[in-house]
C-alpha cells in the first residue's frame, strides 16, 4: 500500500532538493525524518515537513502500520520559474530565474531492516 504527500511551487531550486532526496531514498520513514532534522540545508526542513505530512496521511488509513513505512520514492520536479532582471553595465539587463519545485514523497509498507 502506498501513501503520498505533495507540495507544489516551493521556492527552492530542484537541484538543491535532489541532493537531500538521494540521501533518504529507501530509508525507513522514522530514520529519514530523524536524518532530515539534523541536516543544515534549507531543503531538509522542507522535505521533513512533507515527510511528516505523508506519515500523517498513512495514519488516517487503518490498514497501514505507520512503523513499517519506508521512503519508496521521493521525486522533485521543476515548477514554474519566476523571471526577474538585474541591472548590468551600459544600460543592459541580465535575466535571473528564481526556480520553484514540486516535491512528492511516496511511502510504502515494506520490511524495515
What average pLDDT score do residues 6-21 get? 95
Q: What integer is the mean pLDDT of 9-36?
A: 94
Domain CATH number, residue 8: 3.90.470.10
Domain ranges, residue 41: 2-109
Quote the mean pLDDT of the chain.
93
pLDDT of residue 96: 96
CA-CA-CA-CA torsion sign (7, 11, 12, 13): positive
Average pLDDT over residues 81-108: 96
Q: Is the pLDDT of residue 86 over 80?
A: yes
Checking if the pLDDT of 112 tops 70, the result is no
Q: What is the reported pLDDT for 113?
A: 54
- The stretch 19-27 carries a mean pLDDT of 92
List the grid coordinates of 84. Answer: 526577474
Q: Model confidence at 111, in pLDDT bands (50, 70, 90)?
A: low
Residue that the C-alpha cell 519508496 belongs to: 72
Q: Is 9 exposed, middle or buried (0-12, 13-18, 19+ CB in 10 A)?
A: exposed
Query: How many domains would you assign to the chain?
Result: 1
Cα-based distances in Å from 34 to 39, 45, 60, 61? 9, 11, 22, 23
Q: Note the pLDDT of residue 61.
A: 85
Amino acid at each position: 500500500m502506498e501513501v503520498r504527500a505533495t507540495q507544489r511551487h516551493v521556492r527552492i531550486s530542484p537541484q538543491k532538493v535532489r541532493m537531500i532526496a538521494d540521501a533518504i531514498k529507501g530509508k525507513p520513514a522514522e530514520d529519514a525524518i530523524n536524518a532530515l532534522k539534523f541536516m543544515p540545508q534549507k531543503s531538509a526542513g522542507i522535505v521533513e515537513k512533507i515527510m511528516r505530512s505523508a506519515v500523517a496521511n498513512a495514519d488516517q488509513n487503518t490498514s497501514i502500520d505507520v512503523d513499517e513505512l519506508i521512503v519508496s520514492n521521493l521525486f522533485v520536479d521543476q515548477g514554474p520559474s519566476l523571471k526577474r532582471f538585474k541591472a548590468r553595465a551600459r544600460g543592459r539587463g541580465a535575466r535571473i530565474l528564481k526556480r520553484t519545485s514540486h516535491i512528492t514523497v511516496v511511502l510504502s509498507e515494506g520490511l524495515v531492516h
